[in-house]
Amino acid sequence: MSVIDGSPGIMFRELLNYAPMTYVRQQLGKDVCALLDLIEGGRAPDARLRDAAARIVDVEKQVARNTERGELLALLPVGKQTELAVRLGMTTAGSEFPDLQTLTWTVGAQRELLEFIGFTNATGPTEGLPTRIDCAPIYSLFPHQRHAATRVKELLYIGPRRVVLHLPTGVGKTRTGMNLIVDHLRSNEPTIVIWVARGDELLEQAASEFERAWSQLGNRVVPIVRMWGSASPTLDQVTDGIIVLGLEKAVSVAKADKGFLSTLAARSSLVIFDEAHQIIAPTYRGIVDALTIRPDTSLLGLTATPGRTWADVEQDEQLSNYFCRQKVTLEIGGYSNPVSALIDQGYLAKPIMRTVASNAGLVLSASDRAQLARSFDIPTKIVEQLVHDEQWNLKVIHTISELIEGEHRRILVFAASVDHCRLIAAVLSAIGIDADYVTGESSGMHRRNVIGRFKRAAQRPMVLCNFGVLTTGFDAPAASAAVIARPTKSLVLYSQMVGRVIRGPKAGGTSTCEIVTVVDPEMPGFGDVAEAFANWEDVWETA
């Protein structure tokens, strides 16, 4: 409520000048009056008491209550009573009028009285206010994410305290994980959460996303400690907040400082392992074992692909057993596969998946075929044949050109090697297409500049070729097409590549996306993201 100057009417502070001091002191209350008298060393001056009453009296409540309103009306000089009566329509100027005390004081009449004594925006409890407003949180979760997060919390703090959160790429596993971290830090003070991942993009994404989440949802100042690359691994005075720890850094520091991991483990209570399918690699598993040595430390794995391979059940069983076969995945009513639901509901783009064949003329010996059959992925020798095959590369270039003609403005290309990445980008540039590339050999500045330009909205199409750096930790919602020119037997890798362009309109992406895999008839391949999501379910089923 605010007070306004002006006439007709009379300001409440002026009205108090007509009030006896017994009334003023009654409005202030005994405690206020006693304190003011004490400050003055005797009886406080009347003017000071009237000023205090003008500031603290809840006039709106007085006007709403019959007895207190009657006392207030009695303070009005006769001329002001007449003026108010005219305003209320009880009489006309100069004529007799009924006693104000006998008036039926409707909400409208009460508002008129409040405005008469200098108060505006005075309403009843709900009058003039909307009965409903939608209050949108800044860092919110979609319903399926909230449901998954709730189920994770049910497992994260009881029993073995280990669980994997399995969400498709593009559905916000990092955002969901950050909400869980914020809840944990708010409930445990002080404590350290350790986010473990491999790759600069994935690590920086985690640090930036936590800063965004905590700035909206946090309850105290906490540090974000970056520990990867050239960053110092010191733990001095770090007892609260989040440490974003690169796996390579953890391995190297643990070798140089035998007490580093044990010190970190003693201060932490939650470890998050991003891309959890990597965790059973012996070196990485040793790091996680050291960080979770305390029985009350929880371990949360995040992944879109809860398996190590496409068909090696033994390795997939190791991963499942490490997390005690506890996995939370999406459950959406009416759908047997959540990916199909998320596509229908607009959280994921509807993928148009196709393959284009290029007979590269591969010459595979019997030993080549045997090696191809038993290898985890395509042998380097065979990939090199493709990289240097002109017909294969022409098919890749032609496929990209067709996507640009189809009005795709941001196209990701997954090349087969560093040299292949450079070759494709160079040829595209030579024929007038805006193209650039990033690889694991690219400098940090080059990588940031190229990726930043690719993410910016622009009418001119741009193609970003990459090898080995954009399969995880990369978010470019405007990318609507991908060309997979990297043959692979790894369903994990294939799913990660597809996931870069599958973000739907409700998640800031596109309604459809086009994924073209350039294949040689001799090579294995994949082609269904929904089927890929469910590939490992059997190894996670509890006995």
Average pLDDT over residues 530-534: 53
Q: What's residue 129's pLDDT?
A: 65
Q: Is residue 168 reached through a cis peptide bond, with omega within 30 degrees of 0 on the bond before it?
A: no
316 and 393 housed in the same domain = no
The pLDDT score that the predictor gives to residue 377 is 54
Residue 100 sits in the same domain as residue 155? no
In the chain, count H helices and then E strands. 24, 15
The Cα 502–Cα 513 span in angstroms is: 6
| Nearest-angstrom CA–CA distance, 278 and 467 | 19
Give the CATH number, domain containing residue 248. Answer: 3.40.50.300
Judge if 302 and 356 occupy the same domain: no
Distance from C-alpha of 185 to C-alpha of 182, rounded to nearest angstrom: 5
Do 324 and 242 belong to one domain?
yes
Q: Please, which pLDDT band fits residue 124 given cuts at 50, 70 and 90?
A: very low
Contact 180, 274 (CB under 8 A): no
User: For the chain, what is the radius of gyration of the CA atoms?
Assistant: 35
Kindly state whether residues 81 and 19 are assigned to the same domain.
yes
Q: What is the pLDDT of residue 374?
A: 47
Q: How far is CA 281 from CA 277, 291, 356, 418, in A?
A: 9, 15, 35, 25
Q: What is the mean pLDDT of residues 401-416?
A: 87
Shared-domain flag, residues 398 and 514: yes
Q: What is the pLDDT of residue 84?
A: 87
Closest CA to 18 of 72, 65, 68, 60: 72
Between CA 391 and CA 403 the distance in angstroms is 19
Cis peptide before 8 (omega within 30 of 0): yes
Within this chain, do residues 462 and 495 fall inside the same structural domain, yes or no? yes
Are 424 and 387 in contact by the 8 Å Cβ rule? The answer is no
Which single residue is written with the structure tokens 């970056």? 226
Q: Residue 340 is encoded by which pair of tokens? A: 């199909």
Q: Is 129 a member of any domain?
A: no
**Low-confidence winner among 90-94, 159-163, 165-169, 496-500 (lowest mean pLDDT):** 90-94
| Residue pLDDT, tens place only, 75-84 | 989 888 888 8
Same domain, 107 and 194: no
Q: Give the sign of the dihedral formed by CA 506, CA 509, CA 512, CA 515.
A: negative
Is 480 among the domain residues? yes
The reply to whether 125 falls in a domain is: no
- CB of 496 within 8 A of CB of 471? yes
Domain boundary among 270, 302, 329: 329
Residue in 479, 490, 526 with CA at minimum distance from that of residue 170: 479
Q: Tell me if 335 is assigned to some domain.
A: no
Within this chain, do residues 93 and 212 fall inside the same structural domain, yes or no? no
Residue 243 counted as domain residue? yes
Indicate the residue among 285, 306, 329 that finishes a domain.
329
Say how far apart CA 268 and CA 296 lie, in whole Å: 10
| CA-based nearest residue to 497, from 513, 521, 508 | 513
Residue closest to 110 by CA, chosen among 77, 61, 54: 61
- Cα 178 to its chain centre, rounded Å, is 7
Q: What percent of the chain has pLDDT over 90?
A: 21
Same domain membership, residue 395 and residue 524: yes
The mean-pLDDT minimum among 45-54, 174-183, 230-239, 465-474 falls in: 465-474
pLDDT-above-70 percentage for the chain: 82
Relative to beta strand 119-120, strand 481-484 is unpaired
Answer whether residue 63 is part of any domain: yes
Domain of residue 152, residue span:
143-329
Contacts of 529 (CB under 8 A, 6+ apart): 168, 339, 351, 353, 495, 498, 499, 502
Question: Is the pLDDT confidence value at 290 over 90?
Answer: yes
The domain boundary residue, chosen from 329, 356, 376? 329
Phi, psi of 59 (to 5 degrees): -65, -35
Structural domain contains residue 135: no
Residues 192, 304, 378, 480: what is their CA dihedral angle, to the nearest 10 degrees? -110
Question: Scanning the structure block, which residue is given the tokens 């409707």?
Answer: 106
- Say whether pLDDT at 164 is over 50: yes
Closest CA to 164 of 337, 342, 299: 299
Number of domains in the chain: 3
For the ranges 14-18, 37-41, 170-174, 472-476, the one whose mean pLDDT is highest = 14-18
**Would you say residue 360 lies in a domain?**
yes
Mean pLDDT for all residues in the chain:
80
Q: What is the pTM of this model?
A: 0.63
In this prediction, residue 123 carries a pLDDT of: 47
On whether both 240 and 300 belong to a single domain, the answer is yes
User: For position 437, what pLDDT does the model report?
Assistant: 82
The one-character DSSP state at 45 is: P
CA atoms within 13 A on the CB side of 198: 17
Q: Which of 318, 321, 513 has its CA nearest to residue 409?
A: 513
Same domain, 391 and 516: yes
Asked if 511 and 505 count as a contact pair (C-beta separation under 8 A), the reply is: yes
> Does the pLDDT value for residue 362 go beyond 60?
no
| CB 487, CB 324: distance < 8 Å | no
